[in-house]
Amino acid sequence: MNTLNTALRADEARLNITFDGQNGDLLQPVLVGAADAELLRQAAEAIATGSVPGVRPRGPVDLSGFVVDRFPPTAQVPYHRVFVRPSTPFG
């Protein structure tokens, strides 16, 4: 499947990944309650296999030191969002 799944259940979230100056959403949703370590594992696997549109496949990657940010649904974005991104000096 090569299209973004837009029908999310209440226990699912959209996973956005920023890696090596590139950014994209994982095509399939992730579980809202997944542990940070599990989300980082899923993100690393997706980057390695080229499963993130907008992020070039890289083979095995190390996401230690990356941050997982979680955001609840809002009026503008009616689903949970999870962001995996590099840590910055500001957090």
Q: Is residue 6 part of a domain?
A: no
Domain extent, residue 58, equals 12-86
Cβ atoms 79, 13 nearer than 8 A:
yes
Q: What is the pLDDT of residues 49-81, one digit of tens each?
A: 999 999 999 899 999 999 999 999 999 999 999
Q: Is residue 22 part of a domain?
A: yes
* 4 in any annotated domain: no
pLDDT band at 27 (very low <50, low <70, confident <90, very high): very high
The rounded distance, in Å, linking the Cα atoms of 28 and 15 is: 8
> What is the model's pTM?
0.89
Q: Examine residue 7 and state whether it is found in any structural domain, yes or no.
A: no
Alpha helices in the chain (DSSP H): 36-49
Q: For the chain, how many structural domains are there in total?
A: 1
Per-residue tokens: 84:
């995996």
Is residue 2 domain-resident? no
CA distances from 80 to 7, 49, 60, 68, 69 (A): 12, 24, 27, 13, 11
